Amino acid sequence: MFKKTLLITALVITATVSVKAQSKTPVYLDDSKSIQARVEDALSRMNLQEKINMIHAQSKFSSPGVPRLGIPDNWTDDGPHGIRPDVLWDQWVQAGQTNDSCMAFPALTCLAATWNKDMALLYGNAIGEEARYRNKNVLLAPGVNIYRSPLNGRNFEYMGEDPFLSSKIVVPYIKGVQQNGVAACVKHFALNNSEGNRHTVNVNVDDRTLYEIYLPAFKAAVQEGGAMAIMGSYNLYKGEHCCHNQYLLNDILRKEWGFEGVVISDWGGTHDTNQAIFNGLDMEFGTGTNGLSYSKTNVYDNYYMAMPYLKLIQSGKVGTKELDEKVRRILRLSFLTTMNKNRPLGSLGSEEHALAARKIADEGIVLLKNKGNILPINLKTTKRIAVIGENAIKWMTVGGGSSSLKARYEITPLEGLKKRIGNQAEIVYARGYVGDTTGNYNGVITGQHLGDERSPAELIKEAVEAARKADLVIFVGGLNKSDHQDAEGTDRLSLNLPYDQDKLITELAKANKNLVVVNVSGNAVAMPWINQVPAIVQGWFLGSESGNALAGVLTGDVNPSGKLTFTFPVKLSDNGAQALGEFPGSKTEVTYKEGIYVGYRWAEEHKIKPLFAFGHGLSYTTFQYGNVTVDSKSMTASGKVTLSVNVKNTGSREGEEVVQLYISDLKSSVPRPVKELKGFEKISLKPGEQKLVSFTVDSTALSFFDAAKHQWVAEPGDFAALIGAASDDIRTKTVFSLK
């Protein structure tokens, strides 16, 4: 034993001596050099095996750096609503750490509903700080797939139906994340608009629709946000999986948009070595697993971009040019993140992050209806409140797929209301219905005991009795994060609320006319009881601060200012994809026959009155819009016009309003939507105060994508500028022309 140790020591010493001590910093560590020089230097020191290692995973969420050169591993993590807790190295099982609980931020649907770019920056920075603190350098977020149908299970992770709005919100989110030395990996590129057949479905979409509806938010993420990474989606386009897709990745992303960052596969989204080599993929993750339902372990050497790629190179069948390009891009990302010496240290679960989560939730909650001003709750006259519904007591941060979290805490709506109202009124709670009682996702357990053996009739009876005796009833229901609701991997089966909530709400409305319905969801739901319910609030999934934020809006501490980012149709067939029988399509094909007519574009084209329109959201105060003025009645192709409108708070309390600009092409050679969002501004006004809101637009706001010419075209002629408080509430308009 003794001898052996000696021998080893001797060997080590010999080896060290033969290496020759280096006193100079290698170029790749000298941060006064350009990143390009450092990348080339590091690349030149790597051997073939090290390069191959770098382009695929070594564990569920990490890929190797170069240990020999001190280049750190890359650590990814979900995203997008908080930093996901760690699983074991090679298993979908919780690592059981005690230091990985995060602040849960509101879902991206809520962020977008703030219509506030400052909130997106606040969000991105806070989640970026949490990622940094947890030593993750690639955040698998944000998601910007367009809301094409209210049945898509994953809409809650995205930013709604409008490409312009998503483009404006995604940019500050990315900047906020990346200023922490963490790469944002915007996802899922592209056309991942349903969950059911996501691994097998080939999306057929015409070029105009692709460019006008489904690509703009990704383009903004890349070109304006400077996203360091992008995730390929599971589905196919033109017959190729999107993680290695010639058209999307090489032609559009890299050639047209000049993307220099890293393309990362979705987990298990790689299917072919040859395509992966040549069609734009840089990093392969999750192969051999399909998320959580099955999971082979230790397959990393068999990844499409591992041994199979290495063998092709060694046998001379492919060269190393593509490999070097991939490694260059990954190294560049490392120099901007893990190897950036100026990278801040990050923070986790701080008070600032709680305040950020709360502020975003406050601004995103949407007051949909408030007949007779029954909200905010009048605590002088309301002495007994019945809170009813499972979502008043259920944790929502656990479940729903990869965005599931291990939150430090989550204030439920009932807790929030009790805390806020204290002894100003008595609060009684009745369950009303039993939905999902599991409280467990992938080993993260809420610890809530939600089981209830009573029959639906007994639950309704108890709830109705409580409602009858109360001055005010607050029903908190909606969807949850279990399968076929707001959850990854499955789509919803119906627009209606699950667990017979429609019946319960109808009974409650009969028992007490002072009924407030809070809908917790990331999707539109049908409201067959709408005429019986005076007040409706869209509550989203609000994260750790849920209950506090809802209580703030319901009691009037916070004046609601959120606006819908997607249309609430009355019925499913009022949605284009559904009307044309193209959602979700077959297992292998779906055709976006509705084309550019998504969301409000469809409703307006077909003169369908929605339940609640895109952009809709009420306040506890009122706003009066003056007449829009335009600085010039005509503009040239390279010119601009500025549209201005005075908005005044005519109510008695301070409030925020989202002033929306829509453009309508009055005569065009191609069919165009009735109008399209091209500007918005959120302003805060004290009672009686007024502000001038101005929008400057250039010809991009007037253009459509001409597929034949493959370019954006603004046709000379007249355009209407429509300014208002919602897509169906235009208050003032003017006309100008493009020369």
Residue closer to ligand BGC, measured from CB, 168 or 187: 187
Judged by CB under 6 A, the chain residues 125 through 144 that form the site for ligand BGC are 140
Contacts of 387 (CB under 8 A, 6+ apart): 413, 414, 417, 427, 428, 429, 430, 474, 476
Residues 6+ apart with CB under 8 A from 270: 241, 243, 244, 276, 281, 284, 287, 303, 304, 305
Residue 553 beta carbon to ligand BGC: minimum distance, rounded to whole angstroms? 30
242 binds ligand BGC (CB under 6 A): no
Q: Give me the least distance between CB of 495 and ligand BGC, in Å please.
A: 24
Q: Of all helices (H) and strands (E), which one includes residue 457?
A: helix 456-469
CA dist 267 and 140 (Å) reads: 11
The string of DSSP codes covering 47-76 is: -HHHHHHHTB-SSSSEE--BGGGTBPPEEE
Pairing of strands 535-538, 515-520: parallel
Return the structure tokens found at 241.
Answer: 């999986």
Query: Rounded to a whole number, what is the distance in angstroms from the first to the last CA of the chain?
Result: 90
Residue 56 in the binding site for ligand BGC (CB under 6 A): no
Q: What number of chain residues touch ligand BGC (CB under 6 A)? A: 8
Q: Which is nearer to ligand BGC, 205 or 230 (CB)?
A: 230
Which CB, 289 or 565, lies closer to ligand BGC?
A: 289
Q: What is the DSSP letter of 659?
A: E
Beta carbon of residue 62, minimum distance to ligand BGC (angstroms, whole number): 12
Q: Smallest distance, Å, CB 292 to ligand BGC?
A: 8
Q: Could you say which of 63, 402, 404, 619 contacts ligand BGC (CB under 6 A)?
A: 402
Across-strand partners of 429?
387
Could you say which of 218, 267, 441, 623 contacts ligand BGC (CB under 6 A)? 267
Q: x/- string (CB under 6 A) for ligand BGC, residues 84-123?
A: ----------------------------------------
Q: Cβ closer to ligand BGC: 266 or 582?
A: 266
Nearest to 104 by CA among 315, 349, 438: 349
Which CB atom, from 78 or from 665, has the smaller least distance to ligand BGC?
Answer: 78
Q: Is 266 a catalytic residue?
A: yes
For the CA atoms of 493, 498, 500, 506, the dihedral, rounded to the nearest 10 degrees, stands at: -110
* In the complex, least distance from residue 154 CB atom to ligand BGC, rounded to whole angstroms: 8
Q: How far apart are CA 190 and CA 209, in angstroms?
A: 13
| Chain residues 416-455 in contact with ligand BGC, contact rule CB under 6 A | none
Residues from 355 through 374 that contact ligand BGC (CB under 6 A): none
Number of CB atoms found within 10 A of residue 21's CB: 6
Q: Considering the complex, state which of residue 201 and residue 564 has its C-beta at the smaller distance from ligand BGC.
A: 201
State how far the Cα of 85 lies from the Cα of 160, in Å rounded to an integer.
27
Find the DSSP H helices in 293-400. Answer: 307-314, 321-336, 351-364
Calculated CA dihedral for residues 56, 57, 58, 62, nearest 10 degrees: 130
CB of residue 486 vs ligand BGC: minimum separation in angstroms? 14
- For the bound state, the minimum distance from the C-beta of residue 123 to ligand BGC, rounded and expressed in Å, comes to 17
According to the binding rule CB under 6 A, does residue 78 interact with ligand BGC? yes
Cα 216 from Cα 225, distance rounded (Å): 12
266 near ligand BGC (CB under 6 A): yes
* 291 part of the interface to ligand BGC, by CB under 6 A: yes
User: Which residue type, as a one-letter code, is found at position 149?
Assistant: S
Q: Tell the smallest beta-carbon distance from residue 80 to ligand BGC (Å).
A: 8
Distance of CA 699 to the CA centre of its chain: 29
Site for ligand BGC in 187-226 (CB under 6 A): 187
Instruction: Evaluate whether 228 touches 329 at the Cβ level (below 8 Å).
Output: no
Residues written for the chain: 739
Per-residue binder mask for ligand BGC (CB under 6 A), 159-188, x = binder: ----------------------------x-
Q: Answer yes or no whether residue 284 interacts with ligand BGC by CB under 6 A.
A: no
CB of 521 to ligand BGC, least distance (A): 20
Q: Please, which residues have CB within 8 angstroms of residue 326's CB and are 6 or more apart in sequence? A: 51, 54, 55, 281, 282, 283
Sign of the C-alpha dihedral, residues 714, 716, 722, 727? negative
What are 205's two structure tokens? Answer: 């979409």
CA distances from 561 to 113, 590, 615, 659 (A): 9, 37, 11, 11
**Looking at 86, 100, 266, 491, which residue is catalytic?**
266
- Report the distance separating Cα 599 and Cα 578, nearest Å: 11
Q: What distance in Å separates the CA atoms of residue 564 and residue 651, rounded to the nearest whole number?
A: 22
CA distances from 375 to 44, 502, 671 (A): 66, 22, 42
**Angle at the Cα of 208 (from 207 to 209), degrees rounded to 5?**
90
Q: Are 207 and 260 in contact (CB under 8 A)?
A: no
Q: Nearest approach, Cβ of 139 to ligand BGC (angstroms)?
A: 10
Compare residues 115 and 285 and give the one whose CB is closer to ligand BGC.
285
Rounded to 10 deg, the angle between the 163-178 and 216-223 helix axes is 30
Query: Minimum CB separation from ligand BGC for residue 101, in Å?
Result: 18
CB of 565 vs ligand BGC, minimal distance in Å: 20
CB of 291 to ligand BGC, least distance (A): 4
Of 115 and 267, nearer to ligand BGC (C-beta) is 267
623 touching ligand BGC, by CB under 6 A: no
Shorter beta-carbon distance to ligand BGC: residue 89 or 409: 89
Residues 315-344 that bind ligand BGC (CB under 6 A): none
Q: Which is nearer to ligand BGC, 404 or 546 (CB)?
A: 404
* Residue 473 DSSP code: E
The answer to whether the beta carbons of residues 286 and 265 sit under 8 Å apart is: yes
Nearer to ligand BGC, 489 or 498 (CB): 489
Pick the closer one to ligand BGC by CB: 173 or 625.
Answer: 173
Nearer to ligand BGC among residue 267 and residue 300 (C-beta): 267
The CB-side HSE value for 279 (13 A sphere, CA atoms) comes to 22
Query: Which residues neighbour 67 within 8 Å (Cβ) at sequence distance 6 or greater?
Result: none
- Dihedral of the alpha carbons of 449, 450, 452, 455, in degrees to the nearest 10: -170
- Judged by the rule CB under 6 A, the positions of this chain that interact with ligand BGC are 78-79, 140, 187, 266-267, 291, 402
> Mind telling me the catalytic residues?
266
